Structure 1
Amino acid sequence: MIANGSTTVAAHIEQSVGERIISGALQPGAPLRQDHVAREFNSSHVPVREAFRRLEAHHLVVAEPRRGVRVAPLDTKSVKEIAEMRAALEVVALRNSAPKLTSAHLARIELALIEGDNAQTIEEFEKANRAFHQALVAPCGMPRLLANLDGLQLANSRLVFAMARSAGWRPRSNQDHRLIVQALRTRNVDQACNLLARHIQTIERLALPA
């Protein structure tokens, strides 16, 4: 078990390196050397290895025999895998979350929707988008599932930034999110789940080359 101090350092390294990967500052395939990262953060190799393990669990890096740790690819296969996993797991989470949604939960979901609509930068939009999807499933009461979804959502955030870099981004209303909220307010769980799955699959289609 890693000592508390090392765990704190590992979390700091994970957050810092993860943000660079998500924003695109670290490109797909870029190598991540333990010694270089340890030197940058003035740490031993133990928290660096832990940070790499966490980043791998979030689908942001891959560890390959004889090649070490690299930034995870954003190729067609990876994009499809992320989208299919999210569509399956997030729908399961929503089915378990929807019956437990209170007026307070719905207010948080709608706040994230409004913040996404009002976003003026891709960074503001991505933060609101992540908050919306997390709020949808938060009451499901399935911590292992939620942990997996957090990692997949971070991987999805990479797609959002990558699409913004390649195709540009402009402020706009997210009609998919609005329709999901409407279905939840009328307690139409099947419709909300179908809309959510379609929404996630739309992200996949937009991210993949024609």
Structure 2
Amino acid sequence: MSPLDCLAPELAGGWRTATEYVEGILKAAILDGRLPGGTALRQEELATRFGVSRMPVREALRQLEAQALVDVLPHRGAVVTAISASDAADGYAIRRALEVAALRRSIPNLTAAQRAEAATLIAAMDAESDPARMGQLNRRFHMALYAAAGHARMLQLVEQELSAFDRYLRFHLAAHGRGEMAQHDHRAMLDAADRGDVEAAVAVLERHLDQAAATIARFFRSRGG
């Protein structure tokens, strides 16, 4: 038996391209948990199963990697990304502690140029559709607001956590769509920073992270994970 046997009921339907066909079916199976983390996705086996050449399979895997649904590992090739409810919960708890502390220290010292950079990054996220690029812009936006915290080690830890959590953001966007980016929270944090209102900015950030944590927890419960 192959882990890909779970795809058999879906091998039908209208798709515009072979790449879209492979990506759509694999994406659905990954998001609903039928293809668990660590499952190997071998190009030759996928091409045979889907009845396509390896080229659309390769492109589909590249697109799934951009959405953090697939990892390409040395000597192993493509595998389904392994994520877990407990890891997500731990990560959000760490981020909440670190980022709130960084934002609280940063806002009184933020320059007009730093606030302008944050505004530019919000606009860039509005215009971006690539999940990988959106993850980078989101990380840069948060770091722009924390930049004046004055604690280099704290900021290093914050950036490490944001980088590690990029896959959860992209997974979240893949599951729920681009509309779930919570740009209204980003704008509210920046508005509070422009006013120098530390407590308002912190309250928005706490809500932002708590809602994101609740959303990913619901996602895992829906999969029975």
* TM-score for the superposition, normalised by structure 2: 0.60
Per-residue CA deviations over 1:45-92 (Å, capped at 9, x if unaligned) read: xxxxxxxxxxxxxxxxxxxxxxxxxx9952111111111110111010
Q: 1:93 to 1:99 in 2, by over 3 A?
A: same
CA RMSD of aligned residues (A): 2.7
- In 2, are the aligned partners of 1:118 and 1:171 still within 8 Å (CA)? no
Three-state SS of the structure 2 residue aligned to 1:26 is strand
- Report whether the alignment pairs 1:138 with 2:124: no
- In 2, are the aligned partners of 1:88 and 1:197 still within 8 Å (CA)? no
Three-state SS of the structure 2 residue aligned to 1:140 is coil
Query: Structure 1 residue 145: deviation in Å?
Result: 0.9
Q: Which has the larger radius of gyration?
A: 2
In percent, how many aligned pairs have the same letter?
Answer: 26
The 2-side partners of 1:171 and 1:24 are apart by 17
Q: For residue 75 of structure 1, what is the aligned residue in structure 2?
A: 84
5+ long unaligned stretches in structure 2: 1-64
Q: For residue 26 of structure 1, what is the aligned residue in structure 2?
A: 71
The 2-side partners of 1:159 and 1:170 are apart by 16
Residues 38-77 of structure 1 mapped to structure 2, 5 A cutoff: 73-77=82-86
Query: Structure 1 residue 180: deviation in Å?
Result: 0.6
Alignment-mate amino acid for residue 71 of structure 2 = L
The 1-side partners of 2:192 and 2:70 are apart by 38
5+ long unaligned stretches in structure 1: 1-19, 41-70
Q: Which has the higher contact order (CA 8 A, sep 6+)?
A: 1
Instruction: Count residues in correspondence.
Output: 153
Q: Is 120-129 or 84-93 further displaced after alignment?
A: 120-129
Three-state SS of the structure 2 residue aligned to 1:208 is helix
Q: 1:24 to 1:173 in 2, by over 3 A?
A: closer
The 2-side partners of 1:173 and 1:150 are apart by 20
Q: 1:146 to 1:72 in 2, by over 3 A?
A: farther
